[in-house]
Amino acid sequence: MARITASVYTSHVPAIGAAIDLGKTQEPYWQPLFKGYEFSKQWMKDNKPDVIFLVYNDHATAFSLDMIPTFAIGTAAEFTPADEGFGPRPVPKVIGHPDLASHIAHSVIQQDFDLTIVNKMAVDHGLTVPLSLMCGEPAAWPCPVIPFAVNVVQYPVPSGQRCFNLGQAIRKAVESYDEDLNVHIWGTGGMSHQLQGARAGLINREWDNAWLDQMITNPAICAQTPHIDYVREAGSEGVELVMWLIARGAMQDVADSARSVSVRHRFYHVPASNTAVGHLILENS
Ligand code: DHB
Ligand code: FE
């Protein structure tokens, strides 16, 4: 059967993608950030999954105010990098896994989560920047990726608790797939940032780090964080962090308290553009 063996969490700042694409990663501003992902790139090579289930948010790129799915699963055979105004990023196209994605859609909908099924979708920096951070600049991404888009842009956005519960349903779905596949689940976006208004540029190191501590040891408490706390403490775009709870909910210690997870890597850096960059790699031990 298929199994989730690890989860990865990372911010997705678009300027990080631009720094990679324009060859600026060794500039003084960027060098400390990319240093924090050196371990991660090696870990990806040493622990190459068969499939990545990548939870991210679309930034009014594939979707718009015309149509706002709360949870959307990409079931296509491939997904092209989106043009977000400066041409598409020069990164490989994303190869999907239609069979596993369809199975997960079926199982998760049967578990009472209403997913939108997406058979054609361009993917924006929310998905491609985490891939670049974890994989560098390969000619092709190392494995198929199932994009899973969450609405964190237009209220009402899903609660952290619902995201955490959804992660548990995704784990069950993966474990009911017949083929032996090693699946990683990624939760992306965050950490503290606010891109507009009087508090633009807000970064809250203390809150971010306390939230990272709690995500490792007691994610059920993180799941109870109300939206207003993210907005007040981590800025209006800090609410992207609910996506991390989907990945965390899919880890084995949530399903069975006798089992545990181990922290393979933890990194925090401020600022990247207007955002605090947080990163974790957790393995089912
Ligand atoms: C920035 C961060 C984001 O998460 C995003 O989607 C767009 C911009 C930023 O810090 O510049
Ligand atoms: Fe964002």
Q: What is the DSSP string of 151-197?
A: --SSSSPPPHHHHHHHHHHHHHHHHT-SS--EEEEEEE--SSB--SS
Tokens of 86: 């400066």
pLDDT-derived band at 97, boundaries 50, 70, 90: very high
Ligand minimally distant from the alpha carbon of residue 14: 1
Q: Which pLDDT value is given to residue 254?
A: 98
| Distance from residue 167's CA to the centre of ligand 2 (Å) | 20
Residues forming the active site: 125, 193
In this structure, the residue with its CA closest to atom 1 of ligand 1 is 13
| Distance from residue 162's CA to the centre of ligand 2 (Å) | 20
Cα–Cα distance between 240 and 97 in angstroms, integer? 25
> Does ligand 1 lie within 6 Å of residue 72's CB atom?
no
Cα–Cα distance between 221 and 230 in angstroms, integer? 14
Cα–Cα distance between 205 and 271 in angstroms, integer? 10
Cα–Cα distance between 150 and 163 in angstroms, integer? 9
| Distance from residue 117's CA to the centre of ligand 1 (Å) | 26
> Does ligand 1 lie within 6 Å of residue 273's CB atom?
yes
What pLDDT digit, counting tens, does each position of 107-166 carry?
Answer: 999 999 999 999 999 999 999 999 999 999 999 999 999 999 999 999 999 999 999 999
Mean pLDDT of the chain: 98
Statement: residue 52 has pLDDT above 90: yes
**What percentage of the chain has pLDDT greater than the value 70?**
100
Which ligand 1 atom minimizes the distance to the CA of 12? Answer: 4
| Distance from residue 243's CA to the centre of ligand 2 (Å) | 11
Residues 6 or more apart in contact with residue 223 via CB below 8 angstroms:
160, 161, 163, 164, 245, 249
Cα–Cα distance between 274 and 252 in angstroms, integer? 34
**Can you give the residue ranges of every domain in the chain?**
3-284
What pLDDT digit, counting tens, does each position of 13-26 carry?
Answer: 999 999 999 999 99
> Does ligand 1 lie within 6 Å of residue 15's CB atom?
yes
Topology of domain 3-284 in CATH is Protocatechuate 4,5-dioxygenase; Chain B (3.40.830)
DSSP state of 236: G
> What phi-psi label fits residue 216: left (phi over 0), alpha (psi between -120 and 50 degrees) or beta?
alpha
Taking the mean position of all CA atoms in its chain, how far away is CA 204?
Answer: 20
**The whole model's pTM is what?**
0.98
Q: Which pLDDT value is given to residue 199?
A: 97
Radius of gyration (C-alpha) of the chain in whole angstroms: 17
> Does ligand 1 lie within 6 Å of residue 276's CB atom?
no
pLDDT-derived band at 186, boundaries 50, 70, 90: very high
> Does ligand 1 lie within 6 Å of residue 59's CB atom?
yes
State which of 274, 277, 279 you would mutate to test the pocket of ligand 1, scoring each by most atoms of that ligand within 8 A of its C-beta.
Answer: 274
Give the mean pLDDT of 237-261.
Answer: 97
pLDDT-derived band at 285, boundaries 50, 70, 90: confident
Q: Which pLDDT value is given to residue 28?
A: 98
**Coil, strand or helix: which one is 64?**
strand
Which ligand 1 atom minimizes the distance to the CA of 275? Answer: 10
Cα–Cα distance between 147 and 57 in angstroms, integer? 9
Give the mean pLDDT of 179-207.
Answer: 98
| Distance from residue 191's CA to the centre of ligand 1 (Å) | 10
